Amino acid sequence: MNRSAPLARTVPLKPGTKPLARAKVKSAATGRQPIPRVSARRRAENRERTQMADRLWPDRREGTVMCGCGRPECHRRADDGHELLSRARGGSIADEGNVRPLARECHAEITLGPDWAYAAGLIKHSGLCCQGRPVCSQYTEEGAA
Query: Who contacts 91 (Cβ-Cβ below 8 Å, separation ≥6)?
Result: 83, 84, 85, 98, 124
For residue 9, the model assigns a pLDDT of 65
For residue 59, the model assigns a pLDDT of 81
Q: Which of 46, 70, 50 minimizes the C-alpha distance to 61?
A: 50
Neighbours of 83 (CB within 10 A): 21
Q: How far is CA 107 from CA 64, 101, 126, 138, in A?
A: 17, 9, 21, 23
Specify the pTM: 0.57
Please answer whether residues 35 and 43 qualify as being in contact, where contact means their C-beta atoms are separated by less than 8 angstroms: no
Quote the Cα angle for 37-39-43, to 5°.
100
Q: Where are the domains of the chain?
A: 40-137
For residue 144, the model assigns a pLDDT of 43
For residue 98, the model assigns a pLDDT of 86
The Cα–Cα gap between 145 and 138 comes to 9
Mean pLDDT per 10-residue interval, the chain, length 145 residues: 60 74 58 75 86 85 84 87 81 84 89 79 68 53 44
Q: How far is CA 144 from CA 12, 35, 39, 71, 130, in A?
A: 54, 39, 33, 24, 10
Farthest CA pair distance, the chain: 66
For residue 4, the model assigns a pLDDT of 58
